[in-house]
Amino acid sequence: MVSERPFVIGVECYAGYRGDETPRRLHIGDRIVTVTSVLDRWLAPGHRYFKLCGDDGGIYIVRHDEIADVWQMKLFDSGRPVSSRLSSI
């Protein structure tokens, strides 16, 4: 059985009435990605999910574990067509 290892990231948020409410910047290693738009958001027991567009053209799905107060990146799509990604291999 393969266990999922979370990819923990730093997230700066707009602080609304609930505290850290909407992601504004993602800290991924040494990179800082500014969120240009929130495409979607949804709730799950104990977690909040956000689908974000970054200033690098990428699409990110991030999850906030409200109990542990930890942000994780669950998905990244560079926004480039598959053909251009394959040509660089």
Helix (H, G, I), strand (E, B) or coil at 78: coil
Torsional sign, CA 10, 53, 49, 13: positive
* pLDDT exceeds 80 at position 26: yes
pLDDT of residue 18: 59
The pLDDT of residue 6 is above 70: no
For residues 59 and 79, the answer to whether their CB atoms sit within 8 Å is yes
Instruction: Compute the residue count for the chain.
Output: 89
Question: What are the tens digits of pLDDT across the range 42-89?
Answer: 999 989 999 999 999 999 999 999 889 899 999 999 877 766 555 555
Q: Which two tokens stand for residue 48?
A: 């909040």
